[in-house]
Amino acid sequence: MTRPARLGTIVLAIAALLPLAALVITAFGTTWFYPALLPAGWTLEGWTVVGGGRLGPAVATSLAIGSAASLLATVAAVPIGRAIARGDRLVARIGTGAAFLPIAIPPIALATGLQLLALRTGVGGTVVGVVLAHAVPALGYLTLFFVGIFRGVDPEIESAAHTLGLSPRAAWRHVLLPLLRRPLVEALLLGFLVSWAQVPLTLLIGGGAVRTLATELLAYVQAGQDRLAAVSALLLLLPALLALGASRRLARTTGTLAG
């Protein structure tokens, strides 16, 4: 490794690990004031709220919303991504553009538009409304994901299955879904992560009635409760780390497409 590459790697590592180190120290430390490098002592007091108070229910709500939004988005993204990948150039351009739109526009603009729809359909301020709202950007991400996946799947595989007498449903069940095992797991993880950290959509659609881990984190920051904010931030990081580990394990134990 050359010296510039080594230096760049060190700078990148510091930029990535320094904020994480600050969170860990704040979450477990007692009083910590400049210019001290470390807190005066250590405590687990901040973590006692995880199982109760506001933070415990917020974590459970986030898990439920993220799982439901991810499942909805994945189920919808698979056939949509396949249709775009199998379509002509015009279909591909329109489809990918539509999928990219909820990702590209500012989250607050997307949340405002969805809030108007939620209020008119009666799901504003409900968990159902938040799930549906979170599924919108998740669907955009996952549609683009499956467009790339299906472009790597030879259409002749499906044709051969039909030639052998399999119905479209049977071809999906016995041919395509086994091939898509790893992409489906990765899509569920990605969709969950998109929902897990949503703040504007949760605040506007939930109307303050739906409290998630991300919104509680924001409330702790605004209230100046640094230790609880750090604990919440570390909890918010945990699924991303678990998803990264799961994805790497799948990559090692399965093939390129089938897993």
Query: What does the chain come to in residues?
Result: 259
- The sign of the dihedral angle between the CA atoms of 132, 141, 173, 256 is negative
Classify burial at 197, counting beta carbons within 10 Å of its beta carbon; exposed 0-12, middle 13-18, buried 19 or more. Answer: middle
Q: Which range among 3-17, 96-110, 128-142, 187-201 shows the weakest confidence by mean pLDDT?
A: 3-17
3-state percent helix, strand, coil for the chain, nearest multiple of 5: 80, 0, 20
Spacing of C-alpha 16 from chain mean position: 19
Tens-digit pLDDT profile for residues 80-92? 999 999 888 898 9
Tens-digit pLDDT profile for residues 208-252? 899 999 999 999 999 888 888 999 999 998 888 887 777 667 666
pTM of the model: 0.84
